[in-house]
Structure 1
Amino acid sequence: MNVIEYFDRTRIINIPARTDRRQETTAEFARHGFALDNEKIGFYAAVQPDAQEGFPSIGARGCFLSHLGILEEAERLNVDNVLILEDDIQFSQRIGTFGKQAVEALRGLEWDILYLGHSCEGNADEPGWALVDGPIHLTHFYAVNGKSLAKLRAFLTQVLERPPGHPEGGSMHYDAALNTLIHTDKSIQAYYFTWNLGYQRPSRTDLHALSIFDRLAILRPVMALYRRLKAAKLRRVR
């Protein structure tokens, strides 16, 4: 069983209008032999709010609500676990070998949150699960255990109801909310796999203000080509 099929549900967050990202992610899955059956493994239509409501941006709020929506769906379905990806995922070229090693190493491991893609500098010479001991600034490839869904959903709902800067955690980027929970609730067992199994693919952002190169229609095709070439290069080296 590969690392994607191991989990009860896999959801990939995608804004329906971003057909470019959906197509590139579908190709990325196919490249590594991962199936997309649109039931167990499929896309999740991202939430697109009209206002930022205290979040750093409208896109940040949409991202937060999209992750929360997947967790609520997983809780409602009573799944054993759920794997969540964002639609700029680019898998490591060694995800086949190390992905199987990662899920095999979960036997007997008590966990709440797993980071398969991350910003940590672990010992990649000995791939394995290591406890999260500092902030992880990405949520493009992670999993949540079914037994932890209710606690995580409740915490995120509280974050939504608090103003920015609240001492217990108010409106913030989703990755920051997970970091806050892991830091403040010592019962949460969060791990990362020391060989990074997935990265963020070069892609036009939906979270932040666009650069002039993406705002000008005449330059967008040039930027799209540049990112495709950059992604192809990165695919060969990581």
Structure 2
Amino acid sequence: MVFNASEKILDSSSSANPPELASFGNRLLKASEKLISTLVYPTVTNDSVSFTLPAAEGQVFMVGPRVYLDKIPRLDTTYSSVNIDLIGIARKNNEGSAAVAFMSYNTMENLLKPDFFDTSNDTVKTMMSTVISVTLPKTTNTKLTKPVNFIFRHIREFDHSGSLSCVYWNISEWIVDGCSVLKTNSSHTVCSCDHLSIFALIMQTSHPHYDMFFQSNLQQLLMIFVYVTVGVVFILALLTLIIFIAVYSHV
């Protein structure tokens, strides 16, 4: 299958240039979405399919015209979850049917790197989640009835001085349009987006040399402060001694 066949390519992609990485990532995403759409089949009520592979895992949930659920269960993978109003989407379709495909790619960050997140400030970008995709295969009307919420489990240690961004993939870059962070803690972040796409969570932190530069300057300032303070104290002591001698000599 394409997921397993691509795992070695993903792991050895560090030597490729950015355009090649983005291009291969796009082809892999299209192929995987096409494959997962084959898991969708008609149902009168509702049904689901789950799979777990070394390079990816996911779920497909389908609803039909006689679905008895008010809402579908949360779709879960090891490192991420999604809440989507599939029932509302199905009701807007003529057949009263809809399907959602949710996938989590374990090594896709080697292709769609966090450095593809272009920001105005010069920061270190770290991928904090697996890359996920959410699509509505074989669904006529794919317009969302309400925003989709994602829960990302952090795959790396969270730096509380860093800044988190919920992003989606747009051809060759990560962007934030239509996505926002709802809440976060040291282990999980909840994102909300008003559209479906390829999503991830990226953390920005300052460059280490900036911190070292700041600490070095701070140490220098502290040393200067100490020297000035000692100098002032010495001068005051010397003036006190001179005044004392002057007063004593006139007694």
Normalised TM-score (structure 1): 0.25
Higher relative contact order (CA 8 A, sep 6+): 1
TM superposition score normalised by structure 2: 0.24
Larger Rg: 2
- Quick check: which one's strand share is greater? 2
